[in-house]
Amino acid sequence: MTAEIAHKIRVGDPLSDDELNDAIEFYGRMESGLRLLGPHYHLAWVEVQRTYEALRSYRHHRDNP
């Protein structure tokens, strides 16, 4: 994951397959870590979870046109 990929996600620019895979891996780790930390990090977890699910949906639709 790079700052460039994060920017693309934020503004809605298309991601290459490698960028998408990197982002999914990064957000997956972050989602899991924030969930582990509990309620104090709930607001951050909600946004990370939303982005993670969106990225996974993009991957699914890319793989299954």
Closest CA to 59 of 3, 13, 19, 5: 19
For residue 59, being part of any structural domain is answered with yes
Residue 15 DSSP symbol = -
Residue 26 CB partners (closer than 8 Å, separation 6+): 1
pLDDT, tens digit (0-9, with 9 covering 90-100), for 25-46: 999 999 999 999 999 999 999 9
pLDDT at residue 26, rounded to an integer: 98
pLDDT at residue 57, rounded to an integer: 97
23: tokens are 């982002």
CA separation for the pair 2, 60 (Å, rounded): 22
Note the pTM of the prediction, 2 decimals: 0.91
For residue 5, being part of any structural domain is answered with no
pLDDT at residue 65, rounded to an integer: 85
Q: Which domain holds residue 34?
A: 17-63
CA separation for the pair 37, 62 (Å, rounded): 32
Total domains present in the chain: 1
For residue 54, being part of any structural domain is answered with yes
For residue 52, being part of any structural domain is answered with yes
For residue 31, being part of any structural domain is answered with yes
